[in-house]
Amino acid sequence: MPTPLDLTLLLLATAVIGVVLFRFLHLPPMLGYLSVGILIGPHALGLVPNLKSTSYLAEFGVVFLMFSIGLEFSLPKLKSMKRQVFGLGASQVLLTMLLAVPASLALRFAYPLSWQAALALGGALSMSSTAIVSKILSERLELETEHGRNIVSVLLFQDLAVVLLLILVPSLGKNPTDLVVALSIALVKVALALALILFLGHKLMSRWFHIVAARRSQELFMLNLLLITLGMGALTEHLGLSMALGAFLAGMLISETPYRHQVEEDIKPFRDVLLGLFFVTIGMLLNIKVVAENLPLVLFLLMGPVLLKFALITGLARAFGSSAGVAIRTGLGLAQAGEFGFVLLRQIDGMDLVDPVLSQAILAAMLLSMLAAPFLILYSDRIAMRFSSSEWLLQSLAMTKIAAQTLQTEKHAIICGYGRTGQSLARMLEQENLPYVALDLDPDRVQAATDAGESVVYGDAGRRESLAAAGIDRAELVVVTYADTPSALRVLHHVKELAPGVPVIVRTVDDSDLDKLRAAGAAEVVPEIIEGSLMLSSHALVLLGVPMRRVVRRTQQARDARYSMLRGYFHGADDSADDLDDSAHVRLQTVQLPAVGKAIGCTLGELQLQEMGVEVAAIRRAGIRSVAPVAQTLMQGGDVLVLRGLPEALAAAETHLLQT
């Protein structure tokens, strides 16, 4: 029997290996957690003999997930999307649950199901994966497309429906009379809790968080946050409801305070780690032997619900006004199972509503559907165009519209993304009477800009067809105005194929991807942090009395050097908290030479630091700082060298310089 420490180390090690592998394959980490759980669980390798030691802790992952959803619960947001959320979303959940009852007849000969069990399973199968789908749509820049909005709306209603399903499912194990009484009592409790929160909690929570924040202690703020989240969960649990419901209500409370964004960032590490542990325990539930013995049943339960949800959601999307292609993409994006389906399935298992073998088959089918989700979304365009006779025409019309608008345009700039940065660039081009064509994926923004007479069309700059229709072969310049490296790399790839002579300027957040983008063909990369530091330095110099002409010259010199002088920073204790991969960032580091050593008396060139990937940005000697020293500079004892490079190279260079 492993000790708690052994179990913790095992879970951490396997989780890290699983997530690294799945990230390498460009798959969501959640699938890595599930696979790890299957592998180390009691039904496979048996490294974790039972779940009691981890299941309760793993439930906190769901608690923090529901808390995060509560933070996102916004009445204005719901109001703006009410037709899709409460129309399309509500119809999908309700119809899936209702259709599960007659669909259960297909299993009645082998696994008889009561209507309560079928309804509960319908609730579990109606869920889709918010974690997987939202991340993939974000990476593909499809959140603001029509099918993206449909998917997000349905996911939002599913998240809200979980609150009610967590109350409904435990009540289904009772007889009809007790069921009505239990549901009535539960709804009264929820109504009282909501009333208490809405009328009293908001003001009290705002004042209390203000008191805590005024103490200016990050530790106190974090302790208070955990107390509120777990305290509300414990309160609802003592009322006979779920901890997840209490956490959701706590998130709703804090979402109306000015501290919402700080809270969201602080809770994220707890949520992600514990939610990962929850998915590991879900994977442990799967009995590979039972699944292998009932493989036809697993495949039936995989294909049946996925096809049912796809057909249902596609039909509903069409009924709510979406085109055939958009409806198919919406259905493909939501056809898989979801993380809350596992939560509900665990509740169902605890009530003995479903045969254990059938439960194992359902669990396996849900896992397989989530594994298939990234591929369904990845190929959704091809599937939509294959099965929708009008999709080819719509795509052709979209490309024709772009081509028609740019047909008479030449020597123009193609602006990828028409957000604030893209619009500012367009204004400056207009002032210089330079032609441009902007591509954007936000239909509302495109419509508003088109109505204003601006040269903006709906199109994905990351698609080869869109760039070709925008006249890439006649363009003088392409500018990627949004900070998204994967999308920028796609644009660079297509430009290199279609018009290799056209320069591309790319915007990034910092300089961590500068070399990658340059290698892909970017003529220039503009990091926001470096430009911000230039402007900040300029204002500081002016306010300190430095003549404006000298400030402008300094700034121009920095830009003329293509940012090389600013590519690096001195590492501080708070930097590692902000950077997920700090080893990929160029740093500045100072090294003081000893009075006696191998480097003393050598020239800077003889030290061969550049071969180690390190550049000497400056040398300070006797209090005098020399910037960009020449290779003939002789090293003296006590010299302070300012080195620029990656952390690993800097460590090697420091060891080399300090040799005696």
- The C-alpha angle 510, 512, 518, rounded to 5 degrees, equals 100
Residues 145 and 168: their CA atoms lie apart, in Å, by 34
Q: What residues form DSSP beta bridges with 643?
A: 589, 616
Sequence-distant (6+) residues with CB within 8 A of 609 are: 615, 616, 643, 653, 656
Q: Looking at residue 580, what is its pLDDT?
A: 43
pLDDT on residue 395: 52
Residue 633 pLDDT grade (very low, low, confident, very high; cuts 50, 70, 90)? confident
Residue 401 has a pLDDT of 57
| Prediction pTM value | 0.60
Which residue has better confidence, 629 or 434? 434
Please answer whether residues 328 and 387 qualify as being in contact, where contact means their C-beta atoms are separated by less than 8 angstroms: yes
Q: Exposure pattern of 244-260 as b/e (b: 16+ CB <10 Å)?
A: bbbbbbbbbbbbbbebb
Q: What is the mean pLDDT of residues 30-49?
A: 81
Query: Is 60 exceeded by the pLDDT of residue 573?
Result: no
Local confidence band at 307 (pLDDT 50, 70, 90 cut-offs): very high
**Backbone φ, ψ for residue 415 (5° rounding):** -95, 115
Quote the mean pLDDT of the chain: 79
CA separation for the pair 129, 28 (Å, rounded): 11
Length of the chain equals 660
| 438-459 per-position pLDDT tens digit | 888 777 788 778 777 788 888 7
The answer on pLDDT for 578 being more than 50 is no
Question: Kindly report the CA angle at 659 between 654 and 660, in degrees rounded to 5?
Answer: 150
Q: Evaluate if residue 12 carries a pLDDT over 80.
A: yes
Taking only the tens place, the pLDDT of each residue in 330-358 is 898 899 888 788 888 888 877 777 888 88
119 touches 97 (CB < 8 A): yes
pLDDT tens column, 100-158? 888 887 777 677 788 888 888 888 898 888 777 876 776 666 766 778 888 888 887 88
User: Can you tell me the distance from the alpha carbon of 306 to that of 334, in angstroms, rounded to the nearest whole number?
Assistant: 9
| Residue 309 pLDDT grade (very low, low, confident, very high; cuts 50, 70, 90) | very high
pLDDT interval class at 393 (50, 70, 90):
very low
Residue 57 pLDDT: 63
522-571 confidence digits (pLDDT tens): 888 888 887 888 888 888 888 888 888 888 888 777 766 655 555 555 55
End-to-end CA distance of the chain: 53
Question: Can you tell me the distance from the alpha carbon of 156 to that of 165, in angstroms, rounded to the nearest whole number?
Answer: 14
pLDDT value at 408 more than 60: yes
pLDDT tens by residue, 51-88: 566 666 667 777 777 787 777 665 566 666 778 888 89
> What pLDDT is recorded for position 200?
62
Please give the structure tokens belonging to residue 629. 């020293």
Query: How many angstroms separate the CA atoms of 658 and 638, rounded?
Result: 11
Whose CA is closest to 437, among 395, 472, 469, 406?
406
What's the rounded mean pLDDT across residues 405-425? Answer: 82
Distance CA 59, CA 57 (A): 5
SS3 state at 470: coil
pLDDT of 641 strictly over 80: yes
Q: Which comes out higher in pLDDT, residue 475 or 378?
A: 475
In which element (H, E) is residue 616 found?
A: strand 615-621
Q: Taking 60 as the threshold, does the pLDDT of residue 577 lie above it?
A: no
Q: Reduced to 3 states, what is the DSSP secondary structure of residue 541?
A: helix
**Structural contact between residues 479 and 416, judged by C-beta atoms closer than 8 angstroms:** yes
pLDDT tens-digit series, residues 186-220: 677 767 766 766 666 667 777 888 888 888 788 88
Taken in order 279, 282, 288, 293, is the CA torsion positive or negative?
Answer: negative
